[in-house]
Amino acid sequence: MDESAAGVVAGTWWWDDDGVTRAEVWLELRDGAISGSTGVNRLRGTYAGDPPTVVGAVATTMRAGPEPAMDVERRVLSTLGDGAPLSVDHDRLVLGTGTAMLTFVRVDPHPDGDWTVTAVHRPERQAVVSDGRPQRVLIAGSHVAVSTPSGSTDGSVALGGAGRHSMAVSTGALPVGADPADVALVDALGRVRSWSLDGPVLHLNRDDGGIAVTLARDPGPA
């Protein structure tokens, strides 16, 4: 384990906005590279040193968003400037100093959690289903529970060993007459062979490398 200050800051972090966790603003610090999201745009940069500081300018994509979100982006980017210090205090990532300081909470890089389904990918129809249905997937160790408007089912999850992101999901069927969108979710889960995290977003992937299901994690209470 890397016990240096640079090693301690490594990981995925969500913004702690005065006690409210905001998963849409996140940073990934790994091996001197910074990636993440301002809530509107993706960002990337570098950090170095021990204790670590941001090195150079942070680049972003150039999309526009609603003004409140752009205000947040400006605040994040102004703090994430060249020379900004990075440290960890009581398991909080501290970015910057003084009045410009922002804090972030660590995200466990593991698929365990209560997830909201945001998209079901159906390659056989060349379609992505994302209609806002209240579908949820709970992953807890080797157990999975699927909740949909048509009913619920549960089953098992098999994960690869340390450092491996392989996954296999096995569940029961939904009740007869279940909505096709809910059946499609269960079918897609049965095709899952691996998982990956992109900030607060979990991708469950098929064996051909395509995404089967996209989910978002509720940050929960701060």
Tell me what pLDDT residue 125 has: 65
Q: Which of 180, 97, 181, 79 is nearest to 134 (CA)?
A: 181
- Domain at 113-217: CATH code: 2.40.128.270
Strands (E), the chain: 11-17, 20-30, 33-37, 42-48, 53-60, 86-89, 92-95, 102-107, 113-122, 127-129, 136-140, 143-148, 151-159, 167-171, 194-198, 201-205, 211-217
For the CA atoms of the chain, what is the radius of gyration?
19
Tell me what pLDDT residue 135 has: 94
Tell me what pLDDT residue 139 has: 92
- Residue 102's DSSP bridge partners are 95
Tell me what pLDDT residue 109 has: 72
Regions of the chain with pLDDT less than 50: 1-2, 162, 221-222
- Domain at 5-107: CATH code: 2.40.128.270
82 and 54 Cβ atoms separated by less than 8 Å: yes
Q: Where are the domains of the chain?
A: 5-107, 113-217
DSSP code, position 96: S
**In CATH terms, are 5-107 and 113-217 the same topology?**
yes
> How far apart are the C-alpha atoms of 88 and 45, rounded to whole Å?
19
